[in-house]
Amino acid sequence: MQFIDLAAQQKRIRNKIEANILNVLNSNSYINGPEVAELEQKLARFVGVSYAIGCSSGTDALLMPLMAYDIKPGDAVFTTPFTFIATAEVIQLLGATPIFIDCEKDTFNIDIGKLEKSIEKVKREGTLKPRCIMPVDLFGQCADYDEINEIAKRHGLFVLEDAAQSFGAEYKGRRAGSLADVAATSFFPAKPLGCYGDAGMIFTDNKELYDKLISIRVHGQGVDKYNNVRIGINGRIDTIQAAILLAKFEIFEEEIQLRQNVAEKYSTGLSKSVGVPFVKKHNLSVWAQYSILHPERDKIILKLKEANIPTAIYYPKPLHLQDAFANLKYKQGDFPVCEELAREIFSLPMHPYLEEKQQDKIIRIIIS
Ligand SMILES: Cc1ncc(COP(=O)(O)O)c(C=O)c1O
């Protein structure tokens, strides 16, 4: 059994993927070929924003907006410690300071109740300048953007949505990627919409920001390619990856529905035995992961492994306890909710092609 069965998906659309790749080979347009603009237009429309900027990874899709807003040493960016390292890595890469906020026990997303207090504390202390809130839509469920945007407005901050895991999810009828000033997603192969390598995309309605991002994506280019106007990166998406994503996007909405079916079956079967995911009424999760909680996690994982059922732990060590962020001087006990989650959480196989009988087996083993 696969944790994420990319082969089953490929089998379905192999002809289309091959045809799309062949088109790129025939055109020899490997950088910024027409597939890139086509993908950007299609995904911007799907998300419901004016502009989409394809880029080299989800990490660069987070980094580039921070660069465009001139995030620098002395700036504070508020985010969650219960996420993949890329979220906070890009803040520190620019010399700014990640300020972690504990997460909610039920959704695992940033705890809004603690967010404003933390912003006020940083303001009071006066050493750092609050600039940005970076919520993460963990495991495919959106954070609470109406409230986050309100808080940001009150304090003059911008919001960068880390939608790396939530492309295709909905919040109050709006799509992930459209919920903040700017959003970043990832097309890492295991993501709900994944390519066959590294790629990502930025979404925004802000034309001025869009123009800056287009420049940052190619080494800070100006109107003239060899007169650069700012420091940028090589942040482009490969044409071949765009071509693959175009093929996969055709079946994406159907796959979102299939993911719902898988999640529902898990939750119905497991809710009496383990902690199952809680999705807020106004949210539609895209189930990047189906993660459950149990104090005896290791025993369950072992039993599943004996039956050749793969599992994964996202995330065994919250960011505030990782060596990479030792300079921030956080310690064990600073974020008790996420620390407890890290001890109990693990994820089950989750993809659109998981068969009912495979799920029955997983559920049976966990219950026993
Ligand atoms: C929450 C989150 N942010 C950012 C990223 C970075 O994306 P990428 O691996 O495409 O650079 C990931 C990828 O795993 C992620 O899960």
pLDDT, residue 225, reads 75
Q: Report percent pLDDT > 70 for the chain.
A: 100
**DSSP letters for 49-117:** -SEEEEES-HHHHHHHHHHHTT--TTEEEEE-SSS-THHHHHHHHTT-EEEE--B-TTT-SB-HHHHHH
Q: What is the per-residue pLDDT across 130-139, written as a single tens digit (0 to 9) for each? A: 999 999 999 9
Q: Give the Å distance between the CA of 186 and the centre of ligand 1.
A: 6
Ligand 1 pocket test, candidate residues 55, 82, 165, most atoms within 8 A of CB: 165
Taking CB atoms and a 6 Å cutoff, what residues make up the pocket around ligand 1?
57-59, 62, 83-84, 86-87, 136, 162, 164-165, 186, 188, 198, 200
Q: Give the Å distance between the CA of 361 and the centre of ligand 1.
A: 30
Q: Give the Å distance between the CA of 31 and the centre of ligand 1.
A: 23
Q: Give the Å distance between the CA of 58 and the centre of ligand 1.
A: 5
Q: Give the Å distance between the CA of 272 and the centre of ligand 1.
A: 32
pLDDT over 90 at 223, yes or no: no
Q: What is the per-residue pLDDT across 160-213, written as a single tens digit (0 to 9) for each? A: 999 999 999 999 999 999 999 999 999 999 999 999 999 999 999 999 999 999
Ligand 1 pocket test, candidate residues 80, 83, 84, 319, most atoms within 8 A of CB: 84
Nearest atom, ligand 1, residue 86 CA: 4
d(CA 365, CA 78) in angstroms, rounded, equals 40
- Three-class DSSP category at 364: helix
Q: In which region does residue 28 sit, left (phi positive, over 0), alpha (psi from -120 to 50) or beta (all else)?
A: left
Q: Give the Å distance between the CA of 75 and the centre of ligand 1.
A: 22
Q: Give the Å distance between the CA of 164 and the centre of ligand 1.
A: 5
Would you call 358 exposed, middle or buried from its count of C-beta atoms within 10 A (0-12, 13-18, 19+)? middle
pLDDT, residue 226, reads 84
Ligand 1 pocket test, candidate residues 55, 57, 59, most atoms within 8 A of CB: 59
What value does the mean pLDDT of the chain take? 97
pLDDT, residue 224, reads 81
